[in-house]
Amino acid sequence: MSQFYEIKVSEVSSQTRSDSIRVSVVVPTYNRPESLQACVTALLRQSYPGRNSEILIIDDGSEPALTANALLSGGKVDSELAEIRIIRQQNAGPAAARNRGIREARGTLIAFTDDDCIPSPDWLSLLVQAYDETPGALLGGLTSNGLNHLLFSEASQLMLDMLYRYYNREQNSAMFLTSNNWLCAREQLLSIGAFDMQFREAAGEDWDLCARWREAGWNMRWVPDAMIEHRHAQRLRDFCRMHFRYGKGAYRFHKQRSVCNKRNSDSTGSFNRHLPRLIPQALQRYPSWSRRLQLLTALVIMQSSVTLGYLTASMSPTGTRQ
């Protein structure tokens, strides 16, 4: 079931309108209508021409079901021509939701963000510009924490910053980009099978796709100017669950690489060996010693949760199933 909503009625025919779309922005969502409103508002305020893009909201079985009126109840949006399609499916996880968006997309380029992210006004323009400079590459932007007053949200951001610093030392030859801030060609995604839907939860599916992208011989590029703000509020319990899930996803990823006889290509094991050096460097940006200690404690909790998730998955009789 799908719903279609146009913020502003186009005077051109639907066929011309479809042919003019170059970029489809895919946003998977599940039971976060307020966060999604803020995300969509930011997408409708992009500097990239609205007539050349569409926004696909993939409602992954939210209850109650997402509607256009609820989505846009946050107020008026001034847009040259903003087109939104809401597509509802049974709950199947973010990888399946993104794949649904890829199949439904009319653009030759696909951009991804998440329902708890706020793209900057020039986010899409900068990613498209970078793609035109490096055709065929997978582009990823910079993610910042929009809730830096929350300890566990800031700790998650700190770990992401360390991952990017380690894996993307050469911006034009990146190795890991998170799927909440991507742009690439639709046909290339389809040719490598898009997201692996066996990653049922949000954990490991972006690592897997990045690995398959590189194995296909294609470039990845980090574009730090293309910024999004991530607003994911995390309490201790949520924080532990999320990183436990990441540990399970990491096991699945490494297991698949092993089964397929694929090299992990500088996997997280190498990164973890460098953490004793990376963590003190990352903590230096916080002037308060008490804040540094709090974040260090949170990072220890994080790594313990990841390790527990990894070990739990490795001992599960179902093997890699999440």
Percent with pLDDT over 70 in the chain:
84
According to the model, what pLDDT value does residue 197 have? 82
Residue 274, pLDDT above cutoff 70: yes
φ, ψ of residue 288 in degrees (nearest 5)? -85, 125
CA distance to 49, 104, 118, 198, 278, per residue, from 24 (Å): 12, 9, 17, 24, 37
- pLDDT tens-place string over residues 247-256: 988 888 888 7
Task: State the DSSP code for 22.
Answer: -
> What digits encode the pLDDT tens for the residues 159-208?
999 999 999 999 999 999 999 999 999 999 999 999 988 776 766 788 89
Q: What is the Cα–Cα distance from 53 to 199, expressed in whole angstroms?
A: 29
Q: Where are the beta strands (DSSP E) in the chain?
A: 2-6, 23-29, 53-60, 83-89, 109-113, 117-119, 138-145, 181-185, 220-230
User: Is pLDDT at 37 greater than 50 in this prediction?
Assistant: yes
Question: Range with the lowest mean pLDDT among 13-27, 68-82, 145-159?
Answer: 68-82
Rounded Cα gap, residues 83 and 86, in angstroms = 10
pLDDT score of 83: 83
Of the listed ranges 64-73, 159-168, 226-235, the one predicted with least confidence: 64-73
Give phi and psi for 253, each to the nearest 5: -60, -50
Confidence of residue 214 (pLDDT cuts 50, 70, 90): very high
Residues in the chain: 322
Give pLDDT, residue 9.
28
Model pLDDT, residue 318 = 62
- Contact between 183 and 131 under an 8 Å Cβ cutoff? The reply is yes
Strand ranges of the sheet holding 109-113, from the earlier edge strand across to the other edge:
2-6, 83-89, 53-60, 23-29, 109-113, 181-185, 138-145, 220-230, 117-119
CA 79, 80, 85: angle at the middle one, nearest 5? 70
Which range has the worst mean pLDDT, 31-45, 215-229, 293-307?
Answer: 31-45
Q: Is the predicted pLDDT of residue 265 greater than 80, yes or no?
A: no
Once rounded to an integer, what is the mean pLDDT over residues 39-60?
92
* C-alpha span between 41 and 70 (Å, rounded): 13
pLDDT in tens, 102-142: 999 999 999 999 999 999 999 999 999 999 999 999 999 99
CA dihedral of 215, 218, 220, 226, whole degrees rounded to 10: -140
Residue 16, pLDDT score: 40
Strands (DSSP E) contained in 120-278 are 138-145, 181-185, 220-230
CA distances from 65 to 33, 138, 200, 306 (A): 10, 32, 21, 33
User: What is the Cα Rg of the chain in Å?
Assistant: 19
Count CB atoms within 10 A of the CB of residue 293: 12
Task: State residue 12's pLDDT score.
Answer: 31
**Residue 68's pLDDT is what?**
76
Q: What per-residue confidence (pLDDT) applies to 8?
A: 39
| pTM (2 d.p.) | 0.88
The kind and range of the H/E element at 133 are: helix 123-133
Q: How high is the pLDDT of residue 137?
A: 97
User: How confident is the prediction for the chain on average, in pLDDT?
Assistant: 86
The separation between CA 13 and the C-alpha centre of its own chain, rounded to angstroms, equals 33
Cα angle 172, 104, 102; round to 5: 25
20-38: average pLDDT: 93
Res. 287 pLDDT band, cuts 50 70 90: very high
Q: Which residues pair with 141 in a beta bridge?
A: 223
